[in-house]
Chain A
Amino acid sequence: MTDTTAAPGAASIPGDVTAERNRATTARRFRPNGSAIVMGLYLLFLMLPIYWLLNMSLKTNAEILGTFSLWPRDVTFENYVTILTDASWYMGYVNSLIYVVLNTVISLAVALPAAYAFSRYSFVGDKHLFFWLLTNRMAPPAVFALPFFQLYSSVGLFDTHIAVALAHCLFNVPLAVWILEGFMRGVPKEIDETAYIDGYSFGRFFVRIFMPLISSGIGVAAFFCFMFSWVELLLSRTLTSVDAKPIAATMTRTVGAAGIDWGVLAAAGVLTIIPGALVIYFVRNYIAKGFALGRV
């Protein structure tokens, strides 16, 4: 009567589709894959030293020095307990986190307007200023260690968190400006103009409209600020003694009268990896795009 079933494509799905697919995937899975081997080897190379540190942190000193074992024979959390119950240990983590967060906030707060200026306007000396900023990223911390020490001592900021945070601005602010400028260049200027026509003030436009548009760029800049502030030791050690001493510097304490306390050293090392790992976990979906710094 009617011909709906004969319409093109209306035929039912053949029954053997699923079976055929299965065979195809199985065959594919067992084909040797060069890329997988390369990546496997590379990741193994990356993970082995970290694994070894973890392995050692779960052993007693007697086991570390006495026998050579690929995994802890009797797992002990003694080393971690030592660190987490001793204020002079765990305050190192707190200190580090305080100045890292301070630095990230300061860097972004000053870099955002500057990056906007560089990406949108041309003004007297803009190119030279931009390059001069970048040169600060190239300044070896070793050059600045001693002058910083004297400068901050003279203004009474020695051994404070803010001192380290400000010192790290030396290389993080230029980097943040550079990254953010790259992302902002990708936002069409018409958006700014439309907003101004719609009666937005600069401040409101910047916070309400512009910042959400470059949120991935802000995330990436924050990630890099966090990263470089967290991993830096030379300046943070030079500028602190007790109250703001970073965890990385605290670790040198493990050398005692009875030699190096390897277990505690390893445990402290493992604990310094954790904040970074957490940050990576949260930004994992933006890493690939972020590392391009908006410049691909």
Chain B
Amino acid sequence: MAKITLDNLAHSYLPKPESEDDFALKELNHDWQDGEAYALLGSSGCGKSTLLNIISGLLRPSHGRVLFDGQDVTDAPTAERNIAQVFQFPVVYDTMTVRANLAFPLKNRGMPADEIARRVQKVGAMIGMEAELDRKARGLTADAKQKISLGRGMVREDVNALLFDEPLTVIDPHMKWELRTQLKKLHHDFGHTMIYVTHDQTEALTFADKVVVMYDGRVVQIGTPQELFERPAHTFVGYFIGSPGMNVFDADIEGNAARINNVRVPLPAVYPFGSGHMQIGVRPEFVRLAEGGEGVPARVLRIEDVGRHKIVRLDAAGQEVNATLPEGAPVPAGADRIVFDPAGINVYENAWRIAPEGRREAA
């Protein structure tokens, strides 16, 4: 088990990258703490698989270094890094039995037979496949195969990290929950460093201690699920996490207030004047409906009842706005204004969140 450090890491698939756009992964410095469970979250093509493959050594970064516990492994082949990886589609050796599949990585490392047998038995129990150990892997269901892939990683007890590349994509929904719970338990019991790539926010938020959000080849925010929810560092994070995502308005910032469509909106603190494109972001949970008086004029388009709460879709001067109301809370009949809870407002300049004056926060 190890701490993984990414030092000035960047990667381009082009032989001679010229502009920043040529980089699939833009420059990045980060420490993955030993024993934590991380989720790497982002939409398809944002560079998360590239990052994962660089860590596992399947891809050599075009720039920067990868360190395991302070030791440079940038040029070390996958085998030397001692990591395990589970892929999107289950990889099993079809012609082998489940037992032989699980023993394969140990056999290749020349481990004595009795030790192999002991560990295979243990892992077989862990993934709940003891009964099928002597079956051919061919013809098993997708989730059974994925469990074997996982088992092949777990069987090496000393791995530096366990990497998951969207491992539950091909698994039935009801099995997803079970496998994810199992993964959490494994993490809890064995304390491996785990990095879990996914584009599913529910998966990321329920699995990880820390979520790393990526967008367009760049890490935009690293934080706990709560941080991502309350203080999205980038409008993408606000939009990507939460359902529905954060409402973003173009605004003029005037100290402790913002102006949207010529309506004054109070801010929780005093913000510096920015020269870039200024916006404010408000999660639907912090939008309230009102009738007349203060607030931004808006028209109710429709109301969706999704069980635990209601989503109200509104139109504010041509822009769609979402508000969520707790179940049971009535929608005011003549609602024509929206009011924001100041505590739930974040201010953005050129899509990046800016901190209010006189306060220091971690990004």
Contacts and interface: CB of A to CB of B under 8 A. Distances in A.
B271 to A, nearest CB: 10
Interface stretch (A2-10, A130-138, A273-281): A2-10
Interface string B62-92: 1100000000000000000000000000000
Contact of B17 (A9, A17, A22): A17
A8 B276 contact: no
Contacts of A13: 10, 17, 20, 23, 27, 63
B243 interface: no
B363 interface: yes
Nearest to B15: A21
B27 A2 contact: no
B325 interface: no
Contacts of B26: 9-10
A14 interface: yes
Given A13-B23, A21-B62, A8 B218 contact: yes
A86 interface: no
Interface stretch (B176-184, B255-263, B350-358): B350-358
Interface residues of B, number: 32
Given A9-B26, A9-B219, A25 B15 contact: yes
A39 interface: no
A11 interface: yes
A10 B16 CA distance: 20
B141 interface: no
A4 B219 CA distance: 13
B354 A2 contact: yes
Residue among A9, A20, A25 with the highest chain B CB neighbour number at 10 A: A9
A275 B192 CA distance: 62
Contact of A3 (B10, B63, B355): B355
Contact of A10 (B8, B63, B218): B218
Residue among A11, A12, A17 with the highest chain B CB neighbour number at 10 A: A17
A28 to B, nearest CB: 11
B21 to A, nearest CB: 10
Given A2-B349, A4-B350, A4-B352, A17 B15 contact: no
B63 A17 contact: yes
A2 B274 contact: yes
A2 B356 CA distance: 10
Given A9-B218, A10-B218, A18-B17, A1 B272 contact: yes
B10 A17 contact: yes
A11 B352 CA distance: 14
8 nearest A-B residue pairs (beta carbon): A9-B218, A9-B26, A8-B219, A11-B27, A17-B63, A4-B352, A2-B349, A7-B352
Interface of A: 1-4, 6-14, 17-18, 20-22, 25
8 contacts: A2-B272, A2-B352, A3-B352, A8-B28, A8-B29, A8-B218, A17-B10, A18-B17
